[in-house]
Amino acid sequence: SSAEAHLACEDWCKACAMDGHARSPRPQAGKRVMGVPAETGKKRRPLARDDEELSTTQKLARRECDWKGRNRRNGAHVREKLRNFGLRQEYDTHDPSGHEMLELPFLKKRSRIVEIVAANDLVFALAHSGVCVVFHRTTNKRVCYLNVHKDEVIRSLFYNKSCNAVITVSVYASENYSSLKCRSVPVEFIRRGQPDAGFPLFESESLKWPGFVEFDDVNGKVLTFSALDSIYKVFDLKNYNLLFEIRDKRVQEIKISPGIMLLIFERMANHVPLKILSIEDGTELKAFNHLLHRNKKIDFIEQFNEKLLVKQENENLQILDVLSGKVTEVNRTEFMTPSAFIFLYENQLFLTFRESTVGVWNFKGELVTSFEDHLLWHPDCNTNNIYINTGQDMIISYCRSGDGEHDRLRRPYSRGCKAPGSINVSNILTGRCLAKIQAPEGGSEADVRAQQALEEVTALFYDEERNEVLTGNKTGVVHVWTN
């Protein structure tokens, strides 16, 4: 997906004060995806020898090499980068003595990690309780809590690379957890232990359910929906200036793609009205109707550049080219409704997630990749356990130990340790397993720590600059894996 945060304050908020828990409001079906999108136009440095070392014949042969050959070289490079990865550091978000400034009882309890973000030399770990703790990668010490107010429950984080700031999305007990509040805090102030040096965002918007805020890193935009007046607004992510707004109560949903927005209107009996706008200024680019089967519910409508994906209950997938009007159909037995999508803008492909499996599709409706060893641990597609690299050719996930060639048979683990999962790194274009982070055998203290670290991982992040995999688990501990 674009790395978007699409959050909705739901009725669960009102129950939080009664049952002592803060439940995650994240919608399903890919509304919230943490894979980092590629920066458009960014090229990877070739891994082959320099041209000066090659003959003319070799240069021509290399030019004619297909993408599989290139990916074999990339695969070797990835295997080398991830060779001998081991557990090097851990950070505990639970500190009874450090929770004195927090007012709500559930904020002081140990809670699983739901989100990890790395920015420069800082690691941000968000617990399911709503506590967000910042650690320094050099000193390995806690820098601060991002919770500025005693009753603040942080629901999500977004690292705004364009201005080197972290945006928190929170709800508050004093407001009965009914409205989302956003704050932007420069990383430099966080590093100094001054999280209160930030400033609020989108104060004019009523972000009560079904209102939301969505951060679009690909286009550098923010989309909000104010429930009070049913107005959508688009802001610039660089300076948070308002660019334009959409006032039409018939709009049921908005999908964002590079350069454009798809407006989905209220369904008619046999069609759904659609409109495509420029995401820069809201200019209407195209308006059209898409025919539907009567009395069949819509499973999803997704937009990817000029391609529109439409799926109705028990019907074939339709891939519509909105420029030419050509429709490609994929049999419903071949393409079943997934729980989430991730669009790969660099490679003109998309990932689907369904019942622990990942599929890679092109826009001809063809399944182009089957993964040899990438069975996701969470069948409900917890996308916080999935990372797509900048080049969009590698997926890193928390997986179940399978029968792949990289697995050892009947691995013995220490007493008290459940059979842990593994961090699998696979090539998206070939499906090959490139590397794994697995629990070591043995019963030494270091082995037991690594085994426990890979039990029930609940969040995952790959820091490409530092070549570190960060995982968080159900006990609220973040682990750093590197070589």
Average pLDDT over residues 127-148: 94
Q: Is 149 exposed, middle or buried (0-12, 13-18, 19+ CB in 10 A)?
A: middle
Better-scored residue on pLDDT, 10 or 332:
332
Using the predicted structure, report yes or no on whether residue 107 has a pLDDT greater than 80: no
Residues 6+ apart with CB under 8 A from 445: none
Percent of the chain exceeding pLDDT 70 equals 79
pTM of the model: 0.81
Residues 6+ apart with CB under 8 A from 70: none
Per the prediction, the chain carries an average pLDDT of 81
pLDDT digits (tens, 9 = 90+) for 47-90: 233 333 344 333 333 433 444 444 555 667 777 887 788 999 99
Give the alpha-carbon dihedral of 231, 234, 237, 238, to 10 degrees: -120
How many CB atoms lie under 10 A from the CB of residue 454?
27
Better-scored residue on pLDDT, 410 or 97:
97
Q: What pLDDT does 404 receive? A: 45
Percent of the chain exceeding pLDDT 90 equals 61
Average pLDDT over residues 278-284: 97
Q: What pLDDT does 382 receive? A: 67
Average pLDDT over residues 11-30: 30
Q: What pLDDT does 379 receive? A: 80
Q: What pLDDT does 75 receive? A: 62
pLDDT band at 6 (very low <50, low <70, confident <90, very high): very low
